[in-house]
Amino acid sequence: MFQSKFATSVMIGAIGCMLSGAVAAHEFAATSTPSNAKPGDNTTFTLDSSHIFGTPEEAEATKHLSAALITADQKTGLAFKINTDAPNLIGTFETPDTAAWLAAHRLPVIWSQTPDGWQEGGADEHPDAVAAVRYEKFAKDLVGAVSGDKADAFISAPIGDKLEIVPLSDPRKTAIGDDATFQILLDGHPLTTSVLATYAGFTDTPSSWAYATETLTDERGSGIAKVRISAPGIWVVRVATDVADEEGIRAHNLRATLTFNVAK
């Protein structure tokens, strides 16, 4: 047991070193409550930007965000606003009677590393910057009914995000101690990458994760990630990658999170 925990800690540290200068960026995640909402119930969702999953740190600018509720039949845009009770964004939707995605997109925004720290804007605004990175973030939260094969077929279909975490079955049905399985896609194609995961309440230490793994190839294809579910609660799976960008921008950093609730 000690050896396993030690290996995971080393892997997490190595992954942190491999990521671009984007390590300072907040993670973007969507969550909803209550987790056991019935069809027709009014569900509250939050869009968090934080280094500690489950602990919001700052509200993204609403002009940079969009959100939608996606079912097998339709996609409905969702309104949201600054939360007066916490540093995040908040909105509501009516819980559907099928599985659905609460999907959010943080549009690309350039941040520059200046002598005064990371500042929004490129070289025009910050001529003294040593580097600039374009950040774009995607978040998915699995909501609605937990049901059979038809729901699983919807859940395991990509919604089309540039960087996307796609469950290969409903991860909410994963038993404690078992693996939830995902495929990581970049522009619709399998991506070989590192995958991090944790659950709300795991730690108060910033940028720390309960689980780390690498994608693999099996009979289902490549870009496959298995995440061991070790506790009940709200889980987040996270991936990040850099893609080429125009001159003057060090990288276009893409990040994606997928959240879901695992019952006891």
Please list the residues that pair with 184 across neighbouring strands: 165
pTM for this one? 0.88
Both tokens of residue 254?
């893409």
Q: What residue spans of 121-208 are helical by DSSP H?
A: 149-155
Pairwise pLDDT comparison (199 vs 11), residue with the higher score: 199
Q: Is 13 exposed, middle or buried (0-12, 13-18, 19+ CB in 10 A)?
A: exposed
Model confidence at 19, pLDDT cuts 50, 70, 90, reads very low
**Residue 195 pLDDT:** 98
